[in-house]
Amino acid sequence: MERIYTISFRDIINKSVRKKRAPRAIKKIRNFLKRHMKAEIVKIDNDLNEKIWARGIEKPPARVRIKAIKEDENVVVAKLAE
C-alpha cells in the first residue's frame, strides 16, 4: 500500500525552541505515519532525513510531501515524494 501525504511543520516552527525544531519534525513524521498507516515501526529514508536537516537544526522546511510505503503489517517506509 502506498500513499502520499503532505505534512506541515508550521506548528513546530512557530511554537518550539529553535534548537529542537528538526528533531521534533522527525518525531512528527513518525507519529503521523503511525497514526495514519496503522504501523508500529516507521523507517525514514536517508533523502527525507537530509531534506529535513538541510538547513540545520533551527530551520526545517515548512512542509514536506512524503510517500509512505507499507512493507509488512507493522513496518512503514517514508520517502520523499517527487
Q: How far, in Å, CA of 39 to CA of 34, rounded?
A: 5
Tens-digit pLDDT profile for residues 6-38: 999 999 999 989 999 999 999 999 999 999 999
- With contact defined as beta carbons under 8 Å apart, do 28 and 9 qualify? yes
Which domains occur in the chain, in start order? 2-80 (3.10.440.10)
Q: Please give the pLDDT value at position 82.
A: 76
